[in-house]
Amino acid sequence: MTVRITVSADYDATPDAVWAVLEPIESHVEWMADAEVIRFRGSQTRGTGTTFTLDPLDDGRRTRFTWQEELHFPWWVGGPLGERVGGQQLMRRIWAGNLRRLRSLVERAP
């Protein structure tokens, strides 16, 4: 079973400003409560294989960031049973908090 999660947030920043904060994936630990460290398996840390949706709002002065992901829970967090029993609600709540923390970084960016 796969847990599919989608969360969105609107920011008072241009899509370029939001992307400038999102693009360095290794810095996501600054705003993601569920991540302690991000390790890359190869030399590629940008580009193909990384997808975010940024929709301009108010003639491009604001941005809607939509985060979608599919997860498979490891055995130590319940595996398939954890996915079925509250996994989606728990992760959606965590990720909504992540997007609130991201707001402070995005909206203060130059």
| Residue ranges of domains in the chain | 3-108
Residues of the chain with pLDDT under 70: 1, 40-41, 44-51, 109-110
Assign a CATH topology to domain 3-108: Alpha-D-Glucose-1,6-Bisphosphate; Chain A, domain 4 (3.30.530)
The Cα 103–Cα 31 span in angstroms is: 9
Tokens coding 106: 């995005």
Output the average pLDDT for the chain: 82
The Cα 20–Cα 80 span in angstroms is: 36
The Cα 104–Cα 110 span in angstroms is: 12
Q: What is the pLDDT of residues 68-98, one digit of tens each?
A: 877 777 777 777 777 777 777 888 888 899 9
In which residue are the tokens 């847990």 written? 3
